[in-house]
Amino acid sequence: FEEAHPARRLLDLLSQTGWEQPADQDDPVYHAMRRSVERVRDAEQPEFEAAVGTDHLISEPEQLRTYNCDGLTGWRAMPELVVLAGSTADVQKIVQICAREQIPFVARGAGTGLSGGALPVADGIVISLARMKRILEIDLASQRIDVEPGVTNLDVSKAVAADGFFYAPDPSSQQ
């Protein structure tokens, strides 16, 4: 199909969800959409390790399955790698590597969303923000709290309970 053909656009969209078109050695669009698993794991993995430490990378297929969907389980895509960022500086380093090497990425909190917002991109990585669990500021007068992405609703409720406040119940992300 030519690039503007509706079927090509559909194939492009499907490939982003992890669907794989049978390989056609003469199809440059197909090959441009698919990155080599070995490239992320062998070439960039040491850089990701340097950014966050070996203990904060997930590359084993059994462990990667945890990150192939969020609360919307009808759509799945397997990431090539999960990088567990612990700070804003970690995220910056990871995103710089991804930008330089053109590695697609998706940021993910707890993965409890029900809309597919944390679905990985095929051949990309997941930047998990779950380790970022600091409550940065509580402003009771304004009824506002600034938190890092790994803070759960339950953490917020516990932090303000002594002052008579609570965060509205949300069964998908209390814990």
Residue 5 is predicted with a pLDDT of 53
Tens of pLDDT, residue by residue, the chain (175 residues):
345 555 555 556 666 666 555 555 455 544 444 444 445 656 688 889 888 988 999 988 888 888 888 777 778 888 889 999 999 999 999 999 998 888 889 999 877 777 777 888 877 899 999 999 999 999 999 999 999 998 888 899 999 999 999 887 766 655 5
Residue 148 is predicted with a pLDDT of 93
Q: What do you get for the CA distance between the two ends of the chain, in Å? A: 47
Strand partners, 110: none
Q: Which residues contact 30 (CB under 8 A, 6 or more apart)?
A: 11, 15, 21, 23, 24
Q: Which residues contact 69 (CB under 8 A, 6 or more apart)?
A: 75, 76, 77, 111, 116, 119
Residue of 146, 78, 71, 56 lying closest to 109 (CA atoms): 71
CA atoms within 13 A on the CB side of 34: 19
Residue of 61, 59, 33 lying closest to 46 (CA atoms): 59
Q: How far is residue 113 from each of residues 66, 94, 105, measured CA to CA in Å?
A: 14, 23, 17
Within 10 A of 125 (CB to CB), how many other CB atoms are there? 27
Instruction: Give yes or no for a contact between 97 and 44, defined as CB atoms under 8 angstroms apart.
Output: yes
Residue 128: helix, strand or coil by DSSP? Answer: strand
Residue of 111, 131, 124 lying closest to 69 (CA atoms): 111
